[in-house]
Structures are given as structure tokens and as C-alpha cells.
Chain A
């Protein structure tokens, strides 16, 4: 029996190995035939977007039969790591799908093409905030694919329960007071679901809080000004909401969305992708739509509303040999009216170009979508274009968490400021 088993296992293994073989990727050395454009993205991977991506590819190749688009799978969470590795290894894709502040590390590595020559005449059509996200010293290193403006969402029933009008407060003072009141409703209620995880994304979501208190990351000359009264006030507010249970602690991003969808939270900062997510996670489908509202960020002490965005952007790698064709696909996906309508219908993706936003498809919109379009002008996706910005955000995340746990805002601001300045070499 034992011997038979052993033999069986070996046969199986041998068989498996036989079929295995070294099935390597053939080097791209096709002489004639369509030009191949490769794109790294997570969209073709995900169940929700895969069919849409295949359809877009099909339509593109029908319109441009001499270009063949090849998708390269890149999981969202590992997109930066995978891109860094593939660039270092000398074989990045022609187009790389990223989010707003990702490209700048690659820019510093000299891995990104300047897209200005292809998009120069379209700059006016891009909302200011989205444009600023991709501009660095006159070079356009990324073009927006869809709007990912971060706005404030609010659960109407919680606002009503504390006697406030069912809309997002106009300025930060009112906002903070609303948060306090909603938290007081019960032990299960939280005024605001802050992103409290130690993640650079969570740190990024702290920026509107900084802006709302009059603080900033760096000044117009690029000097770090993290240790400022505004930021100290922002950290003090985080200390307040962390220690007095106005915000749930230790949640990653998907979980805070879940909590909001369940209805016990007052406000959440998030983007237009929440439309389908809310429908899914609340279990109410489209019935959840009227239950919440959204608006761009409340005004800070200077009377301005200033926000952040997490736009999807597309970049072309410098090593690409098919830049023209790559741009053709980029324009097709992000600017073709039919395709952007299709993208919107499937994923709720808002086109990044103002001329497209004026189309009838976008006439009757949920508060959320309208807020995202409205807020696009004043939201910047990359407040700092320094390649060390990600590492800086790590320090801010640590500081933010220290505040939530009850640390001293002045001390935290000073320490974080010092750490970032050392990082930036200032």
C-alpha cells in the first residue's frame, strides 16, 4: 500500500512537471502585424470592471485595427511596488494606470514621458485641480482618467436627529459642532469616520482637516511648514475625536465605508466611487441613494474650500517605443464620449474633461457625483511632487495616530515637521 501510494505520488508529480515545462513569455519580436501597446492596471483584474475593460479593448481595436492593446495585471495594493520593480528591471508597460500622487517617484527615476506635446491644446478642458495633479514644472506627466474628488458624505437621518438641516455644513466650525452632536446621540453613534489606520492614504485624508484649520503641508516655495498653528489645531481636533469616541479607531478603509453604509456614522470623506459601494453594502440597493448627501469640503478660516482628490491617472513610460499609439488609447478611454458614457454607466466613473461633463448623460446626478464635479476645481491630488512625499505621509500617519491616542499636538507637529524636513533635506 505504501509503495503504491509513493509511486502514485511520484507519477502525479512527474505528470505535473511534464505539463509544466518552461512556458516562458515569448520575447516581443513580431515583425509585421498590429503594434502592441501594453498597459498595467488593476481594472482588468477586478470582477466588477473586467468585462467593461474587455469591451473597451474590443471597441478600441475595432476602431484602430492596427493597434493591439495588451493588459498586464497589476493588483491595486501592490501597484507601486510592482511598478518600481518592473521599471528597475527594465521592462515596464507602455501605459501605467496609477492614482494621483503615485507617479512622482517614477518621475524622479526618470521613467515617465512628458505628455504635454499631445495634450497641450486640451489643458483648458481639464478642471484646475485635476490638471495641477499632473503638472510638474511645465511638464504634464500624468493625465486624468476619471475624477476621484474627495468630498464629504453625510447621513441625512443623523443630521436630522440632532436638529440640523440635511446638508453638509458650510464651514469647518459648523462641521465640527455637527460631529460632536451626532456622537452624543448614543454609544454606537460616531460623528465622523476618520481614516485612522497607519497608512499613507489615511495620512493623505488628514490633509483636508489641515486645510480646514488653516494649515498646510508646504508653502509656495516648497518649504515644509508642517509645524504651524493651523496644523496644531487640526491635530488637536483629532485628539478630541479620538479620545472622546467621536470616531471609531483602528479601521482600515473598507471597514469605515461599511460602518457608514450601516448608518451609525455622521460624516465620511470619500469619493464618487461610493455610489455603487453604498448600494452594495447597505443592502438597500438604490434605496440608499436618497438617504445621504454630499458636498465639497467645508470652508476653512480663509473662506475657501480646499480639498484633495484621488483621481485615476494614466502615465506613459519613458522606455515605451509606441508612445503615439499609447496616447491614442489613453485619449480613447478618457475622452471618447461613447466610451466615457459606457464607463460611467458601468462604474460610475466621472469623465475628467469639462466638455464631457456637460453631456446629457450627466444631467441628473446624485449629490455625490455633483459634489465630485464641483469640487474638482479646488482639489489637488498631489500637494507635494517630491518623490519622498510617500515617506513623508508615513510620518504624518504616525503623528495623526499619536494625536488620536491623546498625544500633545504641539509636540507632534514639531516632531513630524522635523522628520519631514530631514527627509526632504531642508
Chain B
């Protein structure tokens, strides 16, 4: 008791740092070398053919910013990612609310939604690829059968349709994550408040916005951030569905980096794209932290 009363002991002050040690060991050791190496590469003219660290300063970045393709790629990435995340959020929220209730077959539905997340990514991309095929894909068939479309839609061969297809696939694949996280968050809403509000005569919509949202708000924002960060990394799905085409309309930063590195063999150039990506997301994360820690530590 006396120890408590006198304020923080040495162990107490060191504790927060001590708690971080396991995480730093796991994450730091493996990450530091590749990450630092990767960032350094962006300032060199390193290629597979001439693997030397010849320092060229910011020349990679200069030529990058002058390249119109880079800006198109950046715009694509932002468009695709944010559209997909919005869809993921909408669908995930809807599913979480629905499957949290006692509707029949909810176990089966939940299982099905899990399945989407658990199946291998390559298989998911391939299945969509054949469903979206303009000639013998089932999607076009259904659209025409239902009378919604008159001719075959070239999902993967035209710029706008290709973007829409990719957003669809991202949204499909990422919704289960939102659902699971929001479901877990819904459990934290205390029933006493809900009951009290019902007694006070609040209707369903009011309850949703005034009571539920504050509880799940932080989780939702976190999920959006995490989803954006992950979506930036996707190479597989783009490669299988459109390979960045048509022309450059679905080339994202990740695909661009991959092509620069493994097709163009320009490691330095690829790394510079990576650094711009890092900065972009870093800024986003800082904003997120501001947003979330605004009211922290207030009694």
C-alpha cells in the first residue's frame, strides 16, 4: 500500500517500455534490415543488372514525379482503395447488424461469409476472373437473363468497367473483415443504455445513430485505416484480373512497384515509388491517430 501511495516506482515507470519489448523483438528484428534497405535503395540507381549502391540522390524521385504514368497510378490507387473500403464498410456493417440478430440460418450465413475470407486469395481472384469473362462468364449471362443488360459487358477489357470490377472484388473479399470486427464491437454496447432508451421512446433509427455508433465508431475508423493499408499492398488480384490494364487504368502503386522491380529490373526506381507510398500512408496514419486520441486520457 505504501508503495502505491508514494507514486510510481521504478518498475511502474519502466513498465510501458518493458511491455513493448516482445513486440519490438518480433517485429523489429526481421523488419528493420529490409525496410531500411528498401528506403535506401530509392536513392540509388540499383538495378538487378547492376546491383551497386550508386548514390544518385533524389533523381529517382524527380523522374518519378515527371512521369505522367505515376500520377495516373497514384490516382487509381486512391480511387480503387477508397471506393472499395466504403463498400466494405457498408456491407460489413449491414452484415454485422443482420447476422447479430436471431434470423434463421445465421450460422450458415456466417459460415459462408467466413468462407470468403478464408479461401485462398488466388482462387478468389480466379473465380472472379472467369465470372467476369465477357464471353462465357456467368455474370454477363445473368445480367442478360434478368434483362438488366442487352449486350456483353467487357468487365475486364475496358478502363471504367475494369476499375469497377476490381472494386467489386476488393469489396467482396474485404467485407468479412469488417463484419467480424464490427460484430465484436457490437458486443461492447451495454444493454442498460439500450433498454433505457427504449423506455424513453427512441425508435430504431435513433437508437442506431445515437447509441450504437459511438461504440463502434472507433473500430470502424480503425478497420477503414487497416483495410486501406492492406489494399495498397495487393498485387495478386490485380495481376490475375487485369494485370494493370487496360492500358494503365487499373495499375495501382503495388503493381507499379512490382513491374518496375521484376519486369523493368529497376530496383531503385521501384523503391522510390515505395517511399512515396510510405509517406502517403504515414500521413494518413498520423491523421488517424489525431482523430482517435483526441479525447484520450480525459477523465
Q: So, do A and B actually touch in the complex, CB under 8 Å?
A: yes
Question: Are B158 and A248 within 8 A (Cβ)?
Answer: no
User: Judging by beta carbons under 8 Å apart, are B243 and A198 in contact?
Assistant: yes
Contact (Cβ within 8 A) A249 B134: yes
Complex Cα gap A402–B155 (Å) = 16
Contact of A198 among B51, B136, B246, B262 (CB under 8 A): B246
- The reply to whether A259 and B136 form a contact with Cβ atoms under 8 Å apart is yes
CA distance A248 to B264 in the complex (A): 29
Given the complex, which residues of A lie within 8 Å of B135, measured CB to CB?
A: 248, 251, 255, 259
How many residues in A have their beta carbons less than 8 Å from beta carbons of B?
33
Residues B243 and A248 in contact, CB atoms below 8 Å apart: no
A80–chain B nearest beta-carbon distance, Å: 6
Is B259's CB within 8 Å of the partner chain A?
A: yes
Q: How far is the CB of B80 from chain A (nearest CB, A)?
A: 16
Q: With A250-B156, A259-B135 in contact, do A390 and B244 touch (Cβ < 8 Å)?
A: no
A248-277 CB contact bits vs B (8 Å, 1 = yes)?
111110010011001000000000000000
By the criterion of a CB under 8 Å from any partner CB, how many residues of chain B are at the interface? 28
Does A421 have its Cβ within 8 Å of any Cβ on chain B? Answer: no
Do residues A258 and B259 form an inter-chain contact, with CB atoms below 8 A?
no
Q: Which of A109, A198, A258 contacts B244 (CB 8 A)?
A: A198
A356 at the interface (CB under 8 A from B): no
Q: Which of B51, B134, B262, B263 is most buried by chain A, counting CB atoms within 10 A of its CB?
A: B263
Q: Which residues of B contact A280 (CB under 8 A)?
A: none
Q: Looking at A251, A262, A402, which has the most chain B CB atoms within 10 Å of its CB?
A: A251
Chain A interface secondary structure, helix, strand, loop or mixed?
helix
Tell me, yes or no, whether B130 is within 8 Å of chain A by CB: yes
Per a CB cutoff under 8 Å, which of A108, A200, A401 touches B247?
Answer: A401
Alpha-carbon gap, A259 to B136, bound state (A):
8
* Residue in B155, B244, B262 whose CB lies within 8 Å of A80: B262
What per-residue 1/0 map shows which CB atoms of B109-133 lie under 8 Å from chain A? 0000000000000000000011001
Query: How does the 8 Å CB contact mask read for B220-260 relative to A, with 1 for contact and 0 for none?
Result: 00000000000000000000001111111000000000010
Q: Counting CB contacts under 8 A, is A184 at the interface? A: no
- Bound-state CA distance A249–B156 (Å) is 8
B154 within 8 A of A: yes
B208 to chain A, nearest CB (A): 31
On whether the beta carbons of A250 and B262 are closer than 8 Å, the reply is: no
Q: Which residues of A (87-138) have their CB < 8 Å from a CB of B?
A: 88, 105, 108-109
Give every chain A residue within 8 A of B5 (Cβ-Cβ).
none
A-contact bits for B129-158, CB 8 A (1 contact / 0 none):
110011110000000000000000011111
Contact indicator per residue, chain B 262-289, by CB within 8 Å of chain A (1) or not (0): 1111000000000000000000000000
Query: Is B20 an interface residue when CB atoms closer than 8 A count as contact?
Result: no
Are B264 and A390 within 8 A (Cβ)? yes
The CA of A197 and the CA of B145, in the complex, are separated in Å by 27
With contacts A198-B242, A198-B247, A250-B155 taken as known, whether A81 is within 8 angstroms of B262 at the C-beta atoms is: yes
The yes or no answer to B71 lying at the interface (CB within 8 A) is no
A-B contacts at CB below 8 angstroms, number: 86
Question: Smallest Cβ distance from B130 to chain A, in angstroms?
Answer: 7
Are A109 and B134 neighbours in the complex by a CB distance under 8 Å? no
The listed residue with most B CB atoms (<10 A of its CB), out of A84, A105, A198, A250, is A250
CB distance from A186 to the nearest CB of B (A): 13
Docked CA distance A401–B158 (Å): 9
Stretch at the interface among A16-24, A162-170, A391-399: A391-399
In the complex, the answer to whether B265 meets A397 with C-beta atoms within 8 Å is no
Q: Which of A81, A108, A388, A401 contacts B246 (CB 8 A)?
A: A401
Is B247 touching A391 in the complex (CB atoms < 8 A)?
no
Q: Is the CB of B133 within 8 A of A251?
A: yes
Chain B positions within 8 Å of A196 at CB level: 157
Which chain A residues border B262 with CB–CB below 8 Å? 80-81, 84
Pair A88/B48 contact, Cβ less than 8 Å: yes
Determine if B48 and A84 form an interchain contact, defined as CB atoms under 8 angstroms apart: yes
B158's partner among A105, A200, A249, A397 (CB-CB below 8 A) is: A249
Partner of B245 from A109, A255, A390, A401 at Cβ < 8 Å: A401
The reply to whether A394 and B263 contact each other, CB–CB distance below 8 Å, is yes
A387 at the B interface (CB under 8 A):
yes
A407 to B225, CA, bound (A): 38
A105 to B262, CA, bound (A): 10
A198 to B245, CA, bound (A): 5
CA distance A199 to B156 in the complex (A): 13
A387 with B245: CB separation less than 8 A: no
Shortest B22–chain A CB gap in Å is 17
A-side contacts of B157, CB under 8 Å: 196, 249-251, 404
Question: A69 near B: Cβ within 8 Å?
Answer: no
| Contact A108 B263, CB 8 Å, known A199-B243, A248-B134, A255-B133 | no
- Is residue B103 contacting chain A, with contact meaning CB distance below 8 A? no
Q: How far is the CA of A404 from the CA of B135 in the complex (A)?
A: 17
B44-81 vs A, Cβ < 8 Å mask (1 yes, 0 no)? 00001101000000000000000000000000000000
Q: How far is the CA of A391 from the CA of B247 in the complex (A)?
A: 14
A398 touches B248 (CB 8 A): yes
Q: Give chain A's interface residues, CB within 8 Å of chain B.
A: 80-81, 84, 88, 105, 108-109, 196-200, 248-252, 255, 258-259, 262, 387-388, 390-391, 394, 397-398, 401-402, 404-405, 423
B contact residues vs A (CB 8 Å cutoff): 48-49, 51, 129-130, 133-136, 154-159, 162, 242-248, 259, 262-265
22 of the cross-chain contacts (CB-CB < 8 Å) are: A80-B263, A84-B48, A88-B48, A105-B49, A108-B49, A198-B244, A248-B135, A249-B154, A249-B158, A250-B157, A252-B129, A255-B133, A388-B265, A391-B259, A391-B263, A394-B259, A398-B245, A398-B247, A398-B248, A401-B245, A404-B157, A405-B158
- Contacts A198-B245, A248-B135, A401-B246 given; 15 further ones with Cβ under 8 A? A109-B48, A196-B157, A197-B242, A198-B243, A248-B134, A250-B133, A250-B158, A250-B242, A250-B246, A262-B136, A391-B265, A401-B247, A404-B246, A405-B159, A405-B246
